[in-house]
Amino acid sequence: MDRVFEDEFMEAQSRIIALCVKFAGNRADQVYAYGSIEESSISFNAFFNIDGQIETTNNITADTDAIWDFLDLGEAVK
């Protein structure tokens, strides 16, 4: 059976959430991830619910290289 859009979309979603969970060190109770592709602009970011508090990427780590690597990987998920 050929893969359809929904299969491809679900696989991309799974990879994005797995990336977020790994970035948060499995501490997140919930992950809120979003991505956008518009004309020549691609963006990605995520927020994390950890112990009832919404945290941003810079609350997870102060390592700016790790944050940029995370954001770059999120943009690359296809």
pLDDT along the chain (78 residues), means of 10: 83 89 93 89 90 94 90 80
Find all residues with CB under 8 Å of 43, minimum gap 6, and list them. 35, 36, 75
Residue 50, pLDDT score: 96
pLDDT at 78: 61
User: In whole angstroms, how far apart are CA 16 and each of 1, 2, 20?
Assistant: 25, 23, 6
Instruction: Look at residue 22 and give its three-state secondary structure.
Output: helix
Report the pLDDT value the prediction gives residue 51, as an integer from 0 to 100: 96
pLDDT at 9: 85
pLDDT of residue 52: 96
| Spatial separation of the C-alpha atoms in residues 2 and 20, rounded to whole Å | 29
pLDDT value at residue 26: 92
12: amino acid identity, one letter? A
